[in-house]
Amino acid sequence: MSSILADLPLFPLHTVLFPDGLLPLKIFEARYLDMMRDCLREQTPFGVCMIKTGNEVARPDEPTVPENVGCLAHLLDCDVQEYGLMQIKVKGGHRFRLLSTRVEPDGLLRGMAEPIGDDPSPEGTRHLAAHAACAEVLERIIKGVAERDPANVPFLQPYRFEDPIWLSNRLAEILPIPLRARQKLMEIEDAEARLDIVHHFMQQHQML
């Protein structure tokens, strides 16, 4: 992994971005419009962190505090159809762990962060039954969305159903899991453990 991310602009949100995930956003606050222009010009990512306390829209009397683990966001698409509103799509990159944060005069959060490496691939065969069952459910979900609304499938191709890291992340994104539990799933540095949790969730909710 690369060295410390010394001055990472942060976008706290009431959502969780996973590695290789797709996230559409509408940007209207001046500080984030400026941040996006900088990222576009310099071709650099920003960090998406789930909000621990506070609000997406800044309030002077209530600072926004992000979770310590977030995900780098790489710009894929940017569209400005009206003044003061930018619509973007980002792809999740590596996760990171915040070491410190500071607030700029315009309210933008910046952080010093250390990158988190990719999950190791599961070894052995214990996970294979859960993997096969989960892959079948995700394929069914994607097929259903593609038939109803092909322009808005919430995943980026190529689909890597055979990859337990990709598969467990996509299910953690799409299943009706509480937001804080979704954050914890993103933080897990073990694809087999994440796959076990989403597989158990689907069994409990009779999705298998």
- Give 162's contacts (C-beta < 8 A, 6+ positions apart): 135
| Boundaries of every domain in the chain | 5-116, 128-204
Q: What is the predicted pLDDT for the residue at 1?
A: 55
* pLDDT tens sequence across 47-90: 999 999 877 766 666 778 999 999 999 999 999 878 889 999 99
Report helix angle 179-187 to 191-204, nearest 10. 150
Return the pLDDT at 58. 62
Residue 172, pLDDT > 80, answer: yes
Measured distance CA(16)–CA(31) in Å, rounded: 21
The per-residue pLDDT of the chain, averaged, comes to: 92
Question: Which two structure tokens, joined as six digits, stand for 3?
Answer: 């060295």
Reported as a pLDDT band with limits 50, 70 and 90, residue 123 is confident
Q: What is the pLDDT of residues 1-60, one digit of tens each?
A: 558 999 999 999 999 999 999 999 999 999 999 999 999 999 999 999 999 987 776 666
DSSP conformation class of 156: P
How long a stretch of residues is the chain?
A: 208
pLDDT score at 194: 96
Cβ–Cβ under 8 Å, residues 102 and 36: no
The pair of structure tokens assigned to 36 is 């996006």
- pLDDT for 3: 85
Beta pairing class for 46-53 and 5-13:
parallel
Query: Which CATH class for the 128-204 domain?
Result: mainly alpha
**5-116 CATH fold:** 2.30.130
- Please report the pLDDT score of residue 54 as a whole number: 79
More confident residue, 125 or 67: 67
Give the per-residue pLDDT at 170.
Answer: 97
The mean per-residue pLDDT over the stretch 107-113 comes to: 93
Question: In this predicted model, what pLDDT tens digit does every residue of 130-150 receive, in sequence order?
Answer: 999 999 999 999 999 999 999
